[in-house]
Amino acid sequence: MKTPQKNSQSPEKPSKSAPSGLQEVGGTEAERRRLPRILLTDEQFRLEAPGGKVFGVLDCSEEGFSVRLIDSSDLLLFTLGSTVKGILKLGEERVRVSARVKGLGLDRAGLQFFECEPAALQKVGNYTDPARLGKALELRPHPDPKLQWYAGPSGASVLAWPNERILVVVHGAYVQIRMPAGTGVETGLVGDILHRVRGGNILREEWAELKADSKQDPEKLEMARLLVSGSIIPAPLQKQILGELSHS
């Protein structure tokens, strides 16, 4: 899946009084919602440049990856269309890559691999395979007692609000299943960060924007199926998700 391009429009700010969980934050045609996620320290990108600045990886696939920009000055390091080189740290793997900047957002740069060694791309592909990511999902704590949140490497997640909705996230894309069963399945992309919080056993939690596709994307549905099929999430939840995806 190709790294999504980002727009430069400012996202709407969530209300400070909004409860935990998935909430609508806008009434635009590309209906936007919120996604809690965590930024893991075992996935980083170190620029091959003076100072060797390190950036957290938000998501990664065999096509490319995106990094979270620390401040506005980082935009000078990731100009649109430029090529950057560095070391991509994926768990225990250190992979030397080059990539073109394909998109910029308020908080992130999206990069597409360019002229990388085949062996390097093979390592990235093996690490980011949805079936492998599913096996690495772990139950995470969250202030919302209703939320069941399973998170793993490269931004992969399964989030379930019983009797409300289920969200499957992989490779910077998402599939959202509305309740009750048969109400609808939506695909889309994870966008800019809206809000950050810290605390508890979560290193850093961030609320990210969700941007819906105009119609269902079969590629995203298949990635979600692969992630869930090989995961350790409870069997009833797994069965429910796969059942909804099979009818989409």
Q: What is the pLDDT of residues 8-39, one digit of tens each?
A: 333 333 333 332 333 333 333 333 355 555 55
Work out the number of other CB atoms within 10 angstroms of the CB of residue 154. 27
pLDDT score at 140 = 84
SS3 224: helix
- Of 130, 148, 174, the last residue of a domain is 130
How far apart, in whole angstroms, are the C-alpha atoms of residue 82 and residue 152?
30
The type of residue at 80 is L
Q: How far apart are the first and last CA of the chain?
A: 19
Q: What is the mean pLDDT of residues 49-59?
A: 85
Q: Which helix (H) or strand (E) holds 151?
A: strand 148-151
Same domain, 143 and 195: yes
Same domain, 147 and 87: no
Please name which of 162, 213, 212 lies closest in space to residue 35, comparing C-alpha atoms: 212
How far apart, in whole angstroms, are the C-alpha atoms of residue 76 and residue 106?
13
Please indicate, yes or no, if residue 22 is contained in any of the structural domains. no
Handedness of CA 237, 239, 243, 246 (dihedral sign): positive
Please indicate, yes or no, if residue 55 is contained in any of the structural domains. yes
Please indicate, yes or no, if residue 214 is contained in any of the structural domains. yes
Structure tokens at 211: 């941007």
- Of 97, 130, 163, the last residue of a domain is 130
* Number of structural domains the chain divides into: 2
Q: What is the mean pLDDT of residues 182-199?
A: 69
Domain that holds residue 202: 32-39+131-246
Same domain, 242 and 173: yes
Q: Which residue has the higher pLDDT, 27 or 51?
A: 51
- Of 102, 130, 158, the last residue of a domain is 130
In b/e form, how buried is each residue of 162-193, taking b as 16+ CB within 10 angstroms?
Answer: eeebbbbbbbbbbbbbebeeeeebbbbbbbbb
Share of the chain above pLDDT 70, in %: 75
Same domain, 89 and 61: yes
pLDDT score at 2 = 44
Work out the number of other CB atoms within 10 angstroms of the CB of residue 213. 14
Same domain, 107 and 156: no
pTM of this structure: 0.71
Task: Tell me the C-alpha to C-alpha distance, in Å, between residue 33 and each of 28, 84, 99.
Answer: 11, 32, 30
pLDDT score at 182 = 67
Question: Highest mean pLDDT range out of 22-26, 135-139, 153-157, 208-212?
Answer: 135-139
How far apart, in whole angstroms, are the C-alpha atoms of residue 187 and residue 93?
31
Same domain, 171 and 240: yes
Q: What is the mean pLDDT of residues 227-244?
A: 93
213 φ, ψ to 5°?
A: -75, 155
**Under 8 Å between Cβ of 106 and 38:** no
Question: Highest mean pLDDT range out of 159-173, 184-198, 205-219?
Answer: 159-173
pLDDT tens sequence across 71-130: 888 988 999 999 999 999 998 889 999 999 999 887 789 999 999 999 999 999 999 899
pLDDT range class, residue 192, cuts 50, 70, 90: low
